[in-house]
């Protein structure tokens, strides 16, 4: 790119790629530069994700965000020539207790009011949809036909390729060391090679966002928490695709991948990660596998998926999801610094909301406001409490541990019901 970029995006994960894409779609000719520290785009959190995009959410803003992502992905390959690996599989939510089933009904009622197709199905239908399911262990099920999943890093690269077609420049191997400000306004970044000027700076640095903002004295209210999943060896006869299965009573999700099962576990005693603990900073590849924890997950799934029992582990995948004390994203202008925007706190829903995140940031950067009320995501919403590390970690762990908890409005699904 010759000349000064209008917008510098720091971080080339799925949020950075989506932001760049939406910026140039809304403002053709805008000079957007994305700086990624790693050797390739989407090499950190995004590379580990299951990529599931589900509409059963307690928070109406998140239901809308997920709907925008599904709408974008439906036609993405055909309209851009870049395939995000989207599968419209639907999702099946299974209850092992009557109490859970009652909560599902409340959640379904809530999302149907927002226009999402979701229906209770009988156990014969549930078995047709997911043949290995032991329906004798179930109290009921709900099917959401419009849900799906992507190959998450492929999706991020597809967003990036479409953005590059429209003129965005992506530079990998470029670590931003500090954000440059003057007179309360952002005006660029510092890299090892020297300073780089830019009109507006957007930080989509995933678990490392707080470190960059700390240099400006701003506490970002998001805590990296370990999330683990694994894939089994192939199970002969398992269909290539079936609906994503959510088993909240086991705190697990599961779907087919590469002939085996991919399943993940929302740990009830979550591990918060201090990304500054190592001198060079803790990276996704440094997160150690916790085999006993994943064995615990398998035990919890055994009643519902007995066929899992005999399958060896093919490989583990793990990373850090950034969690917040209220399960809402952190997205908006950084308090006290004009021209600086931040987006993190994905709350394990960053792929699902990726299109909306990019669209919202593009609106904020270009128009100074969004068509949606984004106050629940305001980076400054916790005030001085965000600087209280003990409080932040304790609350974020509590919210993550309750990802699938039962609440008055239904199952929380990472939000508040």
* Identity of the residue, 61 or 346, whose beta carbon is nearer to ligand FAD in the bound complex: 346
DSSP-assigned letters across all residues of 112-145: HHTT---EEE-HHHHHHHSTT--GGG-SEEEEET
To the nearest whole angstrom, how small is the minimum distance from the Cβ of residue 156 to ligand FAD? Answer: 7
To the nearest whole angstrom, how small is the minimum distance from the Cβ of residue 347 to ligand FAD? Answer: 8
To the nearest whole angstrom, how small is the minimum distance from the Cβ of residue 150 to ligand FAD? Answer: 9
* Identity of the residue, 130 or 227, whose beta carbon is nearer to ligand FAD in the bound complex: 227
* Identity of the residue, 8 or 141, whose beta carbon is nearer to ligand FAD in the bound complex: 8
* Identity of the residue, 134 or 172, whose beta carbon is nearer to ligand FAD in the bound complex: 172
b or e along 279-317 (b: 16 or more beta carbons within 10 Å of the residue's beta carbon)? eeebbbeebeebeeebebbbebbeebbebbeebeebebb
270 part of the interface to ligand FAD, by CB under 6 A: no
* Identity of the residue, 88 or 105, whose beta carbon is nearer to ligand FAD in the bound complex: 88
229 part of the interface to ligand FAD, by CB under 6 A: yes
The answer to whether residues 352 and 54 touch, using CB atoms and an 8 Å cutoff, is yes
The answer to whether residues 320 and 275 touch, using CB atoms and an 8 Å cutoff, is yes
* Identity of the residue, 297 or 351, whose beta carbon is nearer to ligand FAD in the bound complex: 351
Secondary element (H or E) of residue 211? helix 209-214
Beta strands in 138-290 (DSSP E): 140-144, 148-149, 169-171, 176-182, 185-191, 194-197, 200-203, 223-232, 244-247, 252-257, 260-265
334 part of the interface to ligand FAD, by CB under 6 A: no
* Pairing between β-strand 176-182 and β-strand 244-247 as defined by DSSP bridges: unpaired
The Cα–Cα gap between 340 and 110 comes to: 35
Within residues 56-95, the interface with ligand FAD by CB under 6 A covers none
* Identity of the residue, 60 or 306, whose beta carbon is nearer to ligand FAD in the bound complex: 60
208 part of the interface to ligand FAD, by CB under 6 A: yes
What tokens were used for 413? 């699904």
To the nearest whole angstrom, how small is the minimum distance from the Cβ of residue 99 to ligand FAD? Answer: 25
348 part of the interface to ligand FAD, by CB under 6 A: yes
Nearest alpha carbon to residue 178 among 306, 318, 337: 337
* Identity of the residue, 107 or 229, whose beta carbon is nearer to ligand FAD in the bound complex: 229
What tokens were used for 41? 């785009």
Which span sits near ligand FAD by CB under 6 A: 7-15, 73-81, 132-140, 295-303?
7-15
To the nearest whole angstrom, how small is the minimum distance from the Cβ of residue 42 to ligand FAD? Answer: 6
The sheet with strand 119-121 has its strands ordered as 119-121, 140-144, 91-95, 244-247, 252-257, 260-265, 223-232, 313-323
The answer to whether residues 353 and 200 touch, using CB atoms and an 8 Å cutoff, is no
Q: How far is CA 280 from the centre of its chain?
A: 24
**β partners of residue 142:** 93, 120
Which span sits near ligand FAD by CB under 6 A: 6-14, 132-140, 231-239, 400-408?
6-14
Within residues 105-144, the interface with ligand FAD by CB under 6 A covers none
For residue 74, give the 3-state DSSP assignment: helix
352 part of the interface to ligand FAD, by CB under 6 A: yes
Residue 361-390 contact track with ligand FAD, rule CB under 6 A, x = bound: ------------------------------
Nearest alpha carbon to residue 12 among 172, 161, 224: 172
11 part of the interface to ligand FAD, by CB under 6 A: yes
b or e along 380-415 (b: 16 or more beta carbons within 10 Å of the residue's beta carbon)? bbbeeebeeeeebbebbbebbbbbbbbbebbbbbbb
Nearest alpha carbon to residue 19 among 335, 353, 411: 353
350 part of the interface to ligand FAD, by CB under 6 A: yes
Among 175, 290, 296, 378, binds ligand FAD (CB under 6 A): 175
* Identity of the residue, 43 or 141, whose beta carbon is nearer to ligand FAD in the bound complex: 43
Within residues 32-61, the interface with ligand FAD by CB under 6 A covers 35-38, 43-46, 48-52
To the nearest whole angstrom, how small is the minimum distance from the Cβ of residue 189 to ligand FAD? Answer: 8
To the nearest whole angstrom, how small is the minimum distance from the Cβ of residue 168 to ligand FAD? Answer: 15
What tokens were used for 18? 């989506």
To the nearest whole angstrom, how small is the minimum distance from the Cβ of residue 78 to ligand FAD? Answer: 23
List interacting residues with ligand FAD (CB under 6 A): 10-16, 35-38, 43-46, 48-52, 175-176, 204-206, 208, 212, 227, 229, 264, 317-319, 321, 346, 348-352
């Amino acid at each position: 790119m010759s000349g000064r970029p209008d917008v510098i995006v720091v971080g080339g994960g799925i949020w950075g790629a989506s932001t760049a894409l939406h910026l140039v779609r809304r403002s053709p000719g805008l000079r957007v530069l994305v700086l990624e520290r790693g050797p390739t785009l989407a090499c950190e959190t995004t590379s580990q994700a299951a990529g599931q995009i589900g509409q059963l959410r307690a928070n109406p803003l998140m239901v809308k965000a997920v709907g925008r992502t599904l709408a974008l992905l439906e036609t993405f390959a055909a309209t851009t020539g870049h395939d995000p690996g989207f599968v419209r599989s639907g999702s099946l939510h299974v209850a092992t207790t009557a109490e859970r089933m009652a909560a599902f009904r409340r959640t379904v009622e809530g999302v149907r009011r927002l226009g999402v197709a979701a229906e209770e199905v009988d156990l014969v239908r549930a078995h047709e949809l997911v043949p290995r399911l032991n329906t004798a262990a179930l109290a009921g099920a709900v099917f959401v036909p419009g849900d799906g999943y992507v190959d998450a890093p492929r999706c991020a690269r597809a967003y990036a390729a479409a953005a590059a077609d429209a003129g965005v420049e992506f530079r990998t191997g470029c670590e931003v060391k500090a954000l440059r400000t003057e007179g309360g306004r952002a005006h660029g970044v510092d890299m090892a090679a020297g300073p780089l000027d830019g009109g507006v700076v957007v930080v989509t640095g995933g678990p490392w966002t707080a470190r960059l903002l700390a240099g400006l004295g701003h506490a970002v209210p998001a805590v990296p928490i370990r999330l683990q999943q694994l894939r089994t060896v192939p199970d002969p006869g398992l269909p290539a695709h079936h609906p994503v299965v959510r088993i909240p009573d086991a705190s697990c999700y599961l779907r087919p991948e590469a002939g085996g099962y991919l399943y993940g576990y929302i740990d009830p005693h979550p591990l918060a990660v201090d990304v500054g603990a190592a001198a060079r900073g803790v990276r996704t590849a440094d997160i150690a596998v916790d085999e006993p924890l994943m064995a615990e997950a398998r035990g919890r799934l055994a009643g519902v998926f007995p066929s899992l029992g005999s399958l060896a582990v093919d490989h583990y995948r793990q990373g850090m999801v950034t969690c917040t004390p209220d399960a809402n994203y952190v997205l908006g202008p950084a308090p006290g610094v004009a021209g600086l925007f931040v987006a993190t706190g994905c709350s394990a829903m960053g792929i699902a909301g990726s299109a909306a995140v990019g669209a919202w940031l593009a609106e904020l950067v270009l128009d100074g406001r969004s068509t949606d009320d984004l106050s629940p995501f305001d980076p400054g919403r916790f005030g001085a409490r965000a600087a209280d590390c003990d409080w932040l970690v304790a609350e974020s762990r509590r919210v993550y541990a309750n990802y699938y908890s039962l609440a008055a409005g239904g199952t929380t699904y990472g939000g508040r019901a």
